[in-house]
């Protein structure tokens, strides 16, 4: 069986193809490019594939995405409705994002930013310690990564709650569910960590109406998608004092434009979409297992629901 590898992202295509070929020795891995004739392949491993892939390979039955986020794929009208879509579920990302969030939360509570400012001034001054009980954390989104974040923070004795559409329980974490549970979740949270998938329902969820319900002064950590955040609302809340700081790893426009106000705002920390970087070894192993299950007719984990959007 031929399996296409198709990516418009500047990945190391040859390395990926070689590793997938080694993991799937009974298949033929074919790197797709604009000049490649039709291959009549049923499966493709993709990352930001061009529309030409669907036009040239109309017999495709399943796509295996190299990342966890599938919103761009689902928004593309060129993606045939008959093609099944599978996403990466972790591949080492949950540990990385949990690490990123712990760094952000600890920086807020332990005031590491203020100490860094003091260092530039050569000033030795111990600040009054903050009681972490005064900084309850709310994790918005309780998929595999959100649950990992919530569990790690709880193990560090932070007061952690989580919110999801379904309200699936998480050990040691207070869980709120659905639109009815969102106001109470926000009202008890001072540090809000967003790790939701991007859907029509969650786009713009970090807006004045929601962030304004947080315990003030609040702090926002966004490791979900840039489209979750209404950037103008965050800037207004920062100016008003409702939000004290923000740690942002994702943005509506990436790379973040050089003239964007986030770059120079004294209470905004910008990182260039690095909260988690997919490990090639883990990704290849996970997708290879999914493909083997698909070929054997077994259930395949990580199938995307087009109705839910993830």
Q: Which residues are catalytic?
A: 225, 273
Task: Calculate the alpha carbon distances from 31 to 2, 47, 70, 91 in Å.
Answer: 10, 12, 21, 22
């Amino acid at each position: 069986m031929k399996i296409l590898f198709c990516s418009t992202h500047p990945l190391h295509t040859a390395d990926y193809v070689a590793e997938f070929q080694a993991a799937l020795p009974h298949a033929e891995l074919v790197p797709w490019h604009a000049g490649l004739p039709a291959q009549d392949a049923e499966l493709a491993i993709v990352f930001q594939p061009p529309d030409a892939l669907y036009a040239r390979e109309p017999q495709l039955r399943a796509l295996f995405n190299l990342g966890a986020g599938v919103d761009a794929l689902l928004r593309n009208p060129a993606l045939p409705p008959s093609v099944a879509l599978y996403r990466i579920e972790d591949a080492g990302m949950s540990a990385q994002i949990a690490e990123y969030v712990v760094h952000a939360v600890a920086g807020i509570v332990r005031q590491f930013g203020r100490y860094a400012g003091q260092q530039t001034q050569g000033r030795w001054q111990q600040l009054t310690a903050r009681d972490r009980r005064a900084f309850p954390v709310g994790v918005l989104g309780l998929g595999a990564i959100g649950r990992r974040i919530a569990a790690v923070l709880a193990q560090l004795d932070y007061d952690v709650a989580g919110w999801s559409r379904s309200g699936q329980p998480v050990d040691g974490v207070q869980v709120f569910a659905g639109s009815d549970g969102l106001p109470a979740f926000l009202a008890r949270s001072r540090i809000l960590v967003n790790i939701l998938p991007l859907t029509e329902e969650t786009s713009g969820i970090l807006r004045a109406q929601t962030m304004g319900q947080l315990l003030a002064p609040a702090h926002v950590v966004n490791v979900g998608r840039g489209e979750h955040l209404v950037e103008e609302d965050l800037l207004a809340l920062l100016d008003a004092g409702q939000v004290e700081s923000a740690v942002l790893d994702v943005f509506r426009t990436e790379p973040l434009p050089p003239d964007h106000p986030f770059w120079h705002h004294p209470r905004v920390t910008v990182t260039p979409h690095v909260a988690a970087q997919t490990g090639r070894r883990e990704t290849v192993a996970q997708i290879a297992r999914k493909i083997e299950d698909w070929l054997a007719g077994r259930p395949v984990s990580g199938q995307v629901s087009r109705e839910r959007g993830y």
